[in-house]
Amino acid sequence: MKLKHLGMLLGGILLAFLYFYINPSSVNFLPKCPLYVTTGIYCPGCGSQRATHELLHLNILGVFRQNALYVLGILILIYHLIIRILNSFFHKNSYNYIYHPKTPWILLIIILIFWILRNLPFYPFNLLAPH
Amino acid sequence: MGQKPPKNYLVESILVTIFCCLPFGIAGIVFASQVNSKFALGDYEGAIASSKRAKKWMNWSIIAAVISVILSIVFVFALGGLAILGLSNQ
């Protein structure tokens, strides 16, 4: 387990360096979304590589412009990590809403609505498409 | 409720949906919801079974991510190689 976590940490640092120095908009060797390439439809994850680049440059507005769902994903990740750290290191017993029966369905509905809206080609929904 | 719920992989599924493989991420979210609802109903065995299914989808998405990175690198090198060959033939 320890080795796996060390590997994940090293991989994360490597990816952070990669996406800090490479702007995904200006190179063509990064993997592309197969759905967008084949159909021209944006998926809920489109723009995430560019959003990572913006996030590493601390441009939060840029992250929103590329993929608004990315911001939600990061917030959920931070929330989950904070609860886990509180519970395991400080022996608290906080309730984690990740384990609430309704949470997965609410997130699924948000993802599906976001998916539909960002493909509508008119204002204001076209703001949700990656730029 | 003495027992802790089994890992539901919901956060991992959301990250998979955003970063890599939409269908695998959505499958993961559906199984995460099964983990939560079965545990809430006291079906601990069922919750563990759904947790294992969610984990399986997360593993598949890691494999899919690695394959897509390899394919994109191969594709770029193949195109680059063809371009160099084309230039040298002229």
- A114 contacts on B by Cβ (under 8 Å): none
Taking only the tens place, the pLDDT of each residue in A89-106 is 888 788 888 888 889 999
- Asked whether the predicted pLDDT for residue B1 surpasses 60, the reply is no
Residues in chain A closer than 8 A to B10 (CB atoms): 98, 103-104, 107
> 8-27 in A: which are within 8 Å (CB) of B?
none
Q: How close A59 gets to chain B, by Cα (Å)? A: 19
Amino acid, single-letter form, for residue A50: R
Look at residue A121 and tell me whether its pLDDT is greater than 70.
Answer: yes
Looking at chain A, which residue has its C-alpha nearest residue B38?
A101
| Residue with the two structure tokens 């090198």 | B77
- Give A98's contacts (C-beta < 8 A, 6+ positions apart): A76, A79, A80, A83, B8, B10, B11
Contact call for residues A10 and A47 (beta carbons, < 8 A):
no
Q: What is the ipTM of this complex?
A: 0.82
Binary contact (B29, A76; C-beta < 8 A): no
**How would you classify residue A59: left for phi > 0, otherwise alpha for psi between -120 and 50, otherwise beta?**
beta
pTM to 2 decimal places: 0.83
Radius of gyration (Cα) for chain B, nearest Å?
A: 20
pLDDT in tens, B13-54: 999 898 888 888 899 999 999 999 999 998 999 999 999 999
pLDDT at A86 over 60: yes
